[in-house]
Chains A and B, each alone.
Chain A
Amino acid sequence: MKNLKHRGKDKYMNPYVAGVLLGFVIMAAFFFSGEGLGGSGAFKDIVKTTVVSVAPDYAAHSHYFKSATELDHSPLKTWLAFEVLGILIGGILSGAYARRLNLRIEHSPKITSRKRIGFAILGGALFGMGSQLGRGCTSGAGLSGMAVMSVSGFLVVAAIFGTGYLLAWFFRKLWI
C-alpha cells in the first residue's frame, strides 16, 4: 500500500495522447520560431565547433566546414543545439518523475552488453552519416518534414522504416 501515492506515475503515456501533445509542440516550434524539431543537427554543430577550433586552416578549405568558419558566433549557438539540450533536460525531468533514472545497458539477454554497445556505436555512426546525406534524421527530416507535408519528409520516413523492415530478420537476435 505504501506505493499507492505513486501508482501510475511509472506507466508510459498513452501513445495517441503523446502524439497529439507532440503535434502541438511541433506547431509551437513553427509558430514561435519558424523551425521544425530536430535531433541530428546538434551533433553536426558539435562536430563543426570541434573541427573549426582544433583545425581552423583545414576547416577553411573544406567544403563541409567552410560556412562554419565564416560565422560571427560559435557554430553551437544554433536553434537546434539549444532544442537538443532541451530534449536532454526534458528527458531527465520525465525520467525523475516516473522513477526511471538509473544507469544501465539495456539489451536482450541473448546478447552481451559488449555486443549491444558495439551495435549501438555502429547504428549511431550510420545515423550520423545518413542524416548528413539526407539533410536530417527521423525528427528533423521525417517528422518535421511531414508536418509541413513536404515530399522529402515522406520519402525519408519510407526509406528509414522500409529499410528497417527489410533487414529486421537479419538482426532479430539483437532484439528478440
Chain B
Amino acid sequence: MLIRSRPDWWLPERAATPESLYLNRRQWLTGSGLLGAGLLGGGLVGALTATPAHAAAPALPALRHTKGLVTTDDALTPYEAVSGYNNFYEFGTDKTDPAANAGTLKPRPWTLAVDGEVSKPTRFDIDALLKAMPLEERVYRLRCVEGWSMVIPWVGFPLASLLKQVEPTSKAKYVAFATLNDRTQMPGLRARVLDWPYVEGLRLDEAMHPLTMLVVGLYGRVLPNQNGAPIRLVVPWKYGFKSIKSIVSLKLVERQPPTSWSRSAPSEYGFYANVNPKVSHPRWSQAKERRIGEFFRRDTLMFNGYAAEVAGLYKGMNLARYY
C-alpha cells in the first residue's frame, strides 16, 4: 500500500477524516495508538457510522494540523449545522442563504493585506500563509448575539503570530479588519442591509490575546465559503459578529476603528461586544442561549466561559457602558 512507504505523519488529502469520526473523536483517539492503525480503524468506523448525509457532503480538502486547545467538554455542533446555519449577510439574510449562495465566492487566489502602523506592511498570499503558519485545531464555543450558540473545532493560528511578523509600531493601538467587497462574488451586497464592506475591529491587546485566532478551516477541512473562506477571525469571548469573515484587509491603527453593526445601530451593538449575560441587548436577553441541537436554553457564561483568560483585559471598565 502506497501509504506505508510514506513517513508516519503523512496524510493524503483523500484521507480526510470522515466527519462521523470527528463526532466520536475521543473514542477514536483512544482506539488508535498509531496513526497508521488509526487510519485503518478510522476507515472502518467511518464506514459503519457514516450516514448518507455525511457521504453526500462535498469533501473540502483536508488541512494538515495539530490538535490544540479544547476549551469545552460539550459535544461538537455537527458539521451540517456549522456549515448550514450562518449569518453572512453578504450572501443573504436568512440563515440558510450563505450555504445556498456562497458558491460564487472565489477563495483562491486571495490576498490578505496587512498595513497601517506596522514596520513591515505585507500582502500575504493565502496559500503562502497556510504553508508558513503551523495550523492548530481548537474547540471553541461560539455565541451569537441572537441568542444561539455552537461548539466548533476551528483550524487556524493565533492572530498574534501574524501581527508579530509585521511588527506593529508604538502607534498601533487597534486592528481594523475588512471583508471582501465584491458584488460579483457576493450577491447580498446589492441589498444595503449594512454599509458595505463589513468592517470590524479589536483593541491591540485583544488582537494579541492567545485565544484570538485567524481561522482557515473547521472540522479539519478547508473553511467552507459560507463560514468565511478563505480566512476569518475567531474571538471566542465576543459575540459572533465580531468574528469577521472572508478578510481582505487588516490595518493597524491609532484610533478605535468603526465597526459595521455599531455603525448601523449604535445603541444595540458596541465596539467591544463581549459576551455578557448581565448586559441585556435591546432585542435579545443575553442571560441564556440556545445551543444548536438543543430545545431549551442554557445559561450564557460571562465572556462566553473564557473569563479566566480574558477578564483581565477589561479590568476597571464599566462593561454595561462599554458593551
Does chain A bind chain B?
no
